[in-house]
Structure 1
Amino acid sequence: MLIGIAAQAAFRKNRTGVEEYVYQLINHLAMLPESLEHQFFLYVKGGVGLGKWLPRHTRSLPAARSFSPRQNSSDLAEDQAILPGESSAFAFGEAAPKDGLRSHIPESLEKREGKNFIIKTLYAPIFWTQMGLTPEMFCYKPDVLFIPAHVLPKVHPKNSVVTIHGLEFEYFPEFYPGFHQRYLRWVTKYAAQNAQKIIAVSQNTKDDLVMLYGVNPEKISVIHHGISIHTDLHRCEHRFAQMPYILFLGTKEKKKNTAGLIKAFELLKEKYKIPHKLILAGGKPNRRFYKEEKIDKILKGLKRKNDIVNLDFISEEEKWNLLKNAQVFVYPSFYEGFGMPILEAQAAGTSVITSNVSALPEVAGKGAILVDPKNIEQIAQAIYKIIDDEDLRNGLIREGQENI
């Protein structure tokens, strides 16, 4: 069977929620013995850097000279990116970097025999799915098409599966630029109505699809996100190890309510005189798609600005060290289709506070204190309870570990 996957999100250097989902999905597909029975086309946008951001259980070689069942031998070219290895299949696309990616492949994969993952590079100036992927579907339609994030091309095979990650833009349109909010509504509704099967990342998202878009619930499967747990990291020395701190991890967009968390932290400092710092870790959003919480501007007028550390995108190692050494992890988002950082904090053995709305209670289970994200006093009190009560803190950690 020929399975097509819209895979460009997996090939980004700085991966957040959806990008990590696509990356790990492809990585683990390549690990399944059953995957050897099928051929996979990974569709990526022209100009995307493949290089060392390839999922680690796939690999690419330049100048592969062979052909696919969908092409004939007269179409052969030398500028192809093929994975995972010396494939007997051919894919149109840009050349792999000159090092052939060999320096980026774990040594244990050199003996792997999977030879059926193929990158196809598709070019389009804008609206890549509709202008790049649609023509590909018209000419070379796979048996099954998997869209990992909302946007189904107008031309697609009958057997199309789409993952919907959340309908936050329906509840908080003010957190999205006007055009992008309308675009998200259109593409998500189209995908929900036209895909044969839908994967919802939470029961809350499934309920939203049924309620807001009238989707038949029988075609929706709820499959929660998983996480990669870094078991080799311990509570160890790092640049913030000498001070107690409260941690937020996520993109600095308005939906995440970092402004509310900063207000709660100011209240904690004034009312309870806690010695903690507040660390806000995560990159800025693409402002074409999400409205940014301008943290630096907020901090300028604060008395306690020196107690707040605003970090940009951080490495995986630093992320897990921050999680493991935090006394409290706070994720006070206004609305989420899932909330992967909650699971990461629980896996790291850190107590969690999150919002009592959307999918967040579903994700957190019993391993978190739930708060109203609009209630600053309630957020502050929940943080102080965990700081002040070791038994409560340890109980939340145990429940969080069981939730994982």
Structure 2
Amino acid sequence: MKISVDAGALCLGENLRFGNYYFSKNLLEAIQRYDKVNEYFIYSFCEKPIWLTENEKLNYKILRPKMLWLSTRVSLEEIRQKKDIFLALNQAIPISTSGQVVSFSHGLSFYFYPQFYQDSYYSLKDQLKPMVKKSRYIVVSSLRVKTELRKLFPQYKNFVVINYGVPFDMLEEKSNVRKKYFLSVGMNNSIKNIEFLLKVFKKFRNKNRFSEYKLFLVGNLNSFEDKNNNIFSYSSINREQLRKLYAEATAYLTTSYYESFNFPVLEALSQNCTVLGLKGAIIPEFREFVSLAYDSDDFLEQMKDIVLGGKAKVRRSDVMNRFSWKKYILKLKELYEV
């Protein structure tokens, strides 16, 4: 089969590379490794990344101009060269596609928390109905998203849950001594509920026995840095440095109001790092591997339990087996044939 792919997310600047970017990157890497049968045409408007290798089964096509790229330029390419499948990796769909559409929805945080998406709420919301109307299948990353979309669109029956795999650059794990810091990774958006995290961490440090602990924030979170309270921000570290931070952290903390998957949780688990999260930040598929908190007092007490050794260790082998990009591609390929 000939399959076209919207890979526009690869063109995001380094300071904007969060969930959608890493999904697109890892999916394309997985396609390279695990699908040797189908032919892929990767549409983008920037230069090919060095980690992506073209061959007879994978073609990288730079489509320009960038203006009206998906609606017009990609549509024109689809009309010119007929394909069997179009993979809409970021929910939006071109005006015209030559093949059946398989869409990927990355959650409804904008729908349930519009106050945090004032610049994009209406554009994201307006993509939902066309996605449902045009898509043969809609692939979602968790049972949470499927349940929510089914309530919004009860007439649509082809929502398919396929959990992401552990990112390829997090497959390696090295034994490390845990150090006295907690870690949190994410973008600077109010949906991440960073203020909650800072408040709880400061209470945690009020106890003399915990005063040496630090909180490391990774992402474009410089505005939250507070060195007087042992809160440090890292905005420009590479992926290997991040892997090491997971591997040496006392625990990974996540406090989002809503997550449709939460890649950093999976990355932390892949490095044998204990994870503590608020309910909204943890999808159902992760709950057997992490600790769940329901309010600030509960979160604080569980942080103490982690430090004092009262939490079970991460079952890394179970995590690696459950969340696999090879399994992801096998399930995705099944949708091509139905």
Task: Report the TM-score when normalising by structure 1.
Answer: 0.72
Q: Which runs of 4+ in 1 moved over 6 A?
A: none
CA distance in 2, matches of 1:189, 1:171: 16
SS in 2 for 1:397: coil
Deviations 1:371-392 (A, max 9, x none): 23xx33222222112112x1x3
* 2:325 equivalent in structure 1: none
Q: CA deviation at 1:27?
A: 1.6
Deviations 1:307-349 (A, max 9, x none): 1111104211111110010011101111011111111111111
Say which structure, 1 or 2, has more relative contact order (CA 8 Å, 6+ apart): 2
* 2:19 equivalent in structure 1: 17
* 2:314 equivalent in structure 1: 397
Which of residues 204, 224, 236 in structure 2 aligns to 1:295? Answer: 224
* 1:355 equivalent in structure 2: 278
* 1:279 equivalent in structure 2: 216
Structure 1 gaps, min length 5? 59-82, 85-114, 285-292
Q: CA deviation at 1:12?
A: 5.2
CA distance in 2, matches of 1:349, 1:342: 11
Which of residues 103, 116, 130 in structure 2 aligns to 1:162? Answer: 103
* 2:297 equivalent in structure 1: 377
- The code of the aligned residue for 1:216 comes to Y
Q: CA deviation at 1:396?
A: 3.9
* Residues 141/277 of structure 1: CA separation in 2 closer, same or farther (3 Å cut): same
* Residues 354/185 of structure 1: CA separation in 2 closer, same or farther (3 Å cut): same
CA distance in 2, matches of 1:4, 1:213: 26
CA distance in 2, matches of 1:124, 1:172: 33
- The code of the aligned residue for 1:353 comes to L
Q: Is the 8 A contact 2:42 2:58 kept in 1?
A: yes
Which of residues 224, 234, 247 in structure 1 aligns to 2:183? Answer: 247
Q: Is it true that 1:184 corresponds to 2:124 in the alignment? A: yes
Q: Is the 8 A contact 2:181 2:213 kept in 1?
A: yes
CA distance in 2, matches of 1:361, 1:244: 27
Q: Is the 8 A contact 2:48 2:60 kept in 1?
A: no
SS in 2 for 1:134: helix
Which of residues 240, 264, 267 in structure 1 aligns to 2:200? Answer: 264
Which of residues 161, 169, 174 in structure 2 aligns to 1:222? Answer: 161
Q: Is the 8 A contact 1:261 1:379 kept in 2?
A: no
CA distance in 2, matches of 1:272, 1:190: 56
* Residues 193/396 of structure 1: CA separation in 2 closer, same or farther (3 Å cut): farther
Q: Is it true that 1:43 corresponds to 2:14 in the alignment? A: no
Aligned sequence identity (%): 21
* Residues 319/216 of structure 1: CA separation in 2 closer, same or farther (3 Å cut): same
Task: Report the TM-score when normalising by structure 2.
Answer: 0.85
Q: Is it true that 1:26 corresponds to 2:24 in the alignment? A: no
* 1:112 equivalent in structure 2: none
Structure 2 gaps, min length 5? 321-338
Q: Is it true that 1:7 corresponds to 2:7 in the alignment? A: yes
Deviations 1:142-164 (A, max 9, x none): 11111111111121235110111
Q: CA deviation at 1:231?
A: 1.9
Which of residues 244, 252, 261 in structure 2 aligns to 1:321? Answer: 244
Alignment of 1:129-168 (within 5 A): 129-168=70-109
